[in-house]
Amino acid sequence: MSGDILKTLNANLWDADPELWELIKKEKGRQVNGLEMIASENFTTLPVLQCLSSCLHNKYSEGLPGQRLFSVVLRGNEYIDQVEILAQKRSLEAFNLDPEKWGVNVQPYSGSPANLAVYTGVVEPHGRIMGLDLPDGGHLTHGFFTPTKKISATSIFFESMPYKVNPETGLIDYDKLLYSARVFRPKIIIAGVSCYSRALDYKRFREICDEVGAYLFSDMAHISGLVAAGVTPSPFEYSDIVSTTTHKSLRGPRAGVIFFRKGVRSVNAKGEKTLYDLESRINQAVFPGLQGGPHNNTIAAIATAMKATKTPEFVSYAKQIVANAARLSDGLLSKGYKVVTGGTEVHMLLLDLRSVGLTGAKGEYILEEIQIACNKNTVPGDKSALNPSGIRLGTPALTTRGLVEKDIDQVVEFIDRGLKLAKEISAKSGPKLTEFKKAVHENEEFAKKVAALRDEVVKFSNAFPLPGYPEY
């Protein structure tokens, strides 16, 4: 190999592609200079980043350890197998699971493919599922559709019926869930959320599933780090299947994991046992059903993230996430804002901006302009997911950076000042979002106010470090 070719193959990114390198540095600057409050995001650790950029990326390994599709011909998977087995072992250990009673698949590329694999393996096409409605705090992959269109692949390939929250309290209406399940008779009921600030009643879910003969599938993507640390109720005692992403409160790579029951499912009056057959059905749905070769670098990152959950530092971190979220909720309530369900027991909350005369889109936009990242979100009673009335706020990423309760008090002040500024701008710009955005940038008075508040947020944010590489 010539020296020039070797030099090209080993060039650093900043030399090989300076245009892209500048964009990456700008993104790093955005993260350092702002407050990340999107509840599904976090800042992962340096060990995770090192796994993701390792030589494990180079190896193809379709199939499970010891059963690789190419291993007979190509070989070379002996260390890859050990990495995946380690990730499986640590995933079970992270949640204190008995390997005789639980199995795990660590190959899903992310949470949505993981959920689709569960439905594909267990429900089969046009089978029936029930999940929390998206406008009420559920997730797209739990079966969302509108009166005129099936939105998610879950609703396209399977027959879904949503359950709802009480529009007054914002809490899941388990009685109506039971009533609907008796009529609909789903194969799976999903206990999982993307924007719901209270702990789920897994025991009640189990009772409902038992009455209608359904599997209980818990999607703990948002709370898995809290579950591992023991600071929120665990779904494992009552569930048949549990899925999670690994990048939210778990603080690992962007990936998905599926846990499934093994052994005896039920015993009838004659003493005859029915065994779970979830292992083969879910594993085959992941590969070859829906995916090809697993991302071995990501599986290694899962392994090191799962190991981290067993440390005292991670438990303290998870406790602080919940404490910070509670402080955030209390602070916003004290300012006169409406928090859906009246508070939070987990890592996030949903702010109903109808109480202050703003839309979710305007709230999201003004906070982004002052370097606070959140997302607009539906609140109970909203008619359209495209025009929601709330914003979702989470504390995992802020907690990773070291913020504690006294710092959250300052974050509350920034949010309050930002939303009050949004109301002031909206009063002059009118109801349309396009006119609101125009006023933010083109009205000299408003532009100065936004810039001044942004500078305060940036200065505050810079006092808290990010894990990872200094520049990227």
Is 441 an annotated catalytic residue? Answer: no
On the 0-12 / 13-18 / 19+ scale of CB atoms within 10 A, 182 is exposed
Contact in structure between 225 and 309 (CB atoms under 8 Å): yes
Euclidean distance between CA atoms 402 and 411, whole angstroms: 13
In 42-95, which ranges are continuous DSSP H helix?
46-52, 78-94
Q: Which of 247, 295, 347, 374 is catalytic?
A: 247
Q: What is the DSSP track for 400-441?
A: HTT--HHHHHHHHHHHHHHHHHHHHHHHHH-S-HHHHHHHHH
CA 206 to chain centre: 23
Angle at 157 between CA 116 and CA 108, to 5 degrees: 15
Distances (CA, A) of 249 to 84, 109, 246, 391, 464: 22, 18, 8, 19, 19
For the chain, report the end-to-end CA distance as a whole number of angstroms: 31
CA 208 to chain centre: 25
Contact in structure between 457 and 372 (CB atoms under 8 Å): yes
In 309-404, which ranges are continuous DSSP H helix?
312-334, 360-369, 396-400
Tokens of 71: 């291993």
Is 209 an annotated catalytic residue? Answer: no
Angle at 172 between CA 115 and CA 125, to 5 degrees: 30
Q: Which of 139, 142, 195, 374 is catalytic?
A: 195
On the 0-12 / 13-18 / 19+ scale of CB atoms within 10 A, 469 is exposed
**Tokens 């979002």, located at residue:** 433
Which residues are known catalytic residues?
195, 247
